[in-house]
Structure 1
Amino acid sequence: MSYSIVFKYLFVKRILIGLIVVGAAVATSYVDQQERAALPDLTSIEKLNQEFRHQYKQATETFWRSQIENGSVIMVNGNSITLFHKGVPSSSSQTSTAVYHYLKSIAHIPMTIRFLLINNSSTLMNNTLEQYWQNLNNLQIPESIQSKEKASVDHIVSKSQKLVRKEMDKKGSIDRKMLNNFCQSLTHDLTILLDAAAIAQLNKMHEIIQDWMREYNFDPKDPSLKVLIIGPRAAREKNLHTTYFERLLGDERTRNILYIE
């Protein structure tokens, strides 16, 4: 099944209020207080906009409180997920497992080497590279990593060891083209690891939500259920969390999925 993040009804009342709710909860409280204290000499337009911020915050808090008290709200913020069910917040849970962190950490190795060499190209001491090379040699691959991913892990680590060893022996200028080729040569392996990490996170999130459904006896198809996802602008469309909740809630309720930056 293919997914698409459709916000056709962005200015429908429910969505607009929802965006106001989360955006203000995240951003306006602190700014509102600071601006009132720090800007005594405001222009007329600044005064108008400051009053907007204040009223915006109050409207947000009122609506947000109503949603939590009367329905179910799932909030996702990075690796944290929290359920508010009829005014009772469950404890927040983490969706990132140990395997997720292992895979992401190994996937970061090629880019770490690139940054290490480029950022320190004029001052890099041999012992800096040697320490990183030793860390690569001492790396122990967790048994929880599956065979398909392990092959990519071995490939990334092996090529990284060779490159770092070569730079240690050369002690010369950094070849940026060579570094780019090095990273590009590992694209397939990186994709495998990042996909596996995403699946591990998705499985954990699904497990948490299934437990909530049994414990609180709520139906994900209930039209009153809201999902609030906090994330970066670049990931607004077709990101992991949004596509998951589209499938969970059903196509008819995608308007109940609110993404804020």
Structure 2
Amino acid sequence: MIWNNHLLLIFIFTSIISIYSDELSDLNKKFISTYDHARDYLISITNPLIICNGDNVIIIHRGKRYQEQVIPKLYHDLKSISHMPFKIYLTVMFNLGTLSDDNYTELKQYLQDIRSIRNSIQFPTDIQQTQYDIIDLSIEYLETILKTKFIDQTQLNEFCQQARHLFSVNIDLAARAQLDMLDTKIRPWYEERFNDTERNTLKILIMGPKTARYGYIEKTYFYTLLGER
């Protein structure tokens, strides 16, 4: 009887939450609608406006909308290479000691995958070796733990330290690739297509889950372009 009463209370409480949640959701839709109208209106009266959103920028200029890709494939490829040792670490970080059967199977397949990738990747000559170094580090560590079926804390720490150094190189390379393409696409607009008045009234909107903080690549770029501090 006590158990049945407990279930009844859970059902009632859940139903109340559902009712209030639905009401709040409907009410919030009105806010979203008003927000969308306000945003669209502000965009319509702001000229020129550059909106950074993911891989692209949208340029609103004299009533027309233009879109430019500003993050190159190279940027994403460098991230993908850097994620290899990170994926390995995330797989074993809670598996110190004897390697579990599931992780063994997963990492054995992953080793085959990255060996295959190593034979097919193509990067600019001046950065190709760094990518090989990251892949080879990952292959070497995987071969060790798959052979011993054991995750040693000291070995894992050494692997992470070596990977971190290579990460820093790739982070710089990815940032440079992003900045180069961003500048190639934006500077002609700023210097050639915007007139003096438009350059002085230009607004920049950087989209994202969080406010663009100090050091954020796009924010730093536009501060430099506009001569802001």
TM class by shorter chain equals: 0.7 to 0.9
Which of residues 62, 65, 76 in structure 2 aligns to 1:101?
A: 76
Instruction: Describe the superposition over 1:174-216 as per-residue Cα deviations: whole angstroms up to 9, x where unpaired.
Output: 33453233112222221111111111111111111134457x7
Instruction: State the match for 1:128 in structure 2.
Output: 106
Instruction: State the match for 1:38 in structure 2.
Output: 22
Query: How much does 1:234 deviate?
Result: 7.3
**Structure 2 CA distance, aligned partners of 1:110 and 1:179?**
11
**Corresponding letter in the other structure for 1:98:** K
Structure number with bigger Rg? 2
Classify the secondary structure of the residue corresponding to 2:201.
Answer: coil
Listed as ranges, the gaps of 5+ residues in structure 2 are 1-20
Q: Are 1:76 and 2:52 counterparts?
A: yes
**Structure 2 CA distance, aligned partners of 1:226 and 1:171?**
56
Q: Are 1:200 and 2:138 counterparts?
A: no
Instruction: Describe the superposition over 1:87-138 as per-residue Cα deviations: whole angstroms up to 9, x where unpaired.
Output: 1001x23222232222111111110111123467544254422221112222
Contact (CA 8 Å) 2:43, 2:49: kept in 1 or not? no
**Corresponding letter in the other structure for 2:179:** L
Which of residues 121, 132, 151 in structure 1 aligns to 2:129?
A: 151
Classify the secondary structure of the residue corresponding to 1:113.
Answer: helix
**Structure 2 CA distance, aligned partners of 1:50 and 1:97?**
36
**Structure 2 CA distance, aligned partners of 1:170 and 1:80?**
46
Instruction: Describe the superposition over 1:33-69 as per-residue Cα deviations: whole angstroms up to 9, x where unpaired.
Output: xxxx931799xxxx8x9987765554443323211xx
Distance 1:235 1:179, change over 3 A: farther
Greater fraction of residues in helix: 2
Aligned residues: 205
Identity rate, percent:
29
Which of residues 141, 144, 157 in structure 2 aligns to 1:163?
A: 141
Alignment RMSD: 3.3
**Structure 1 CA distance, aligned partners of 2:63 and 2:25?**
41
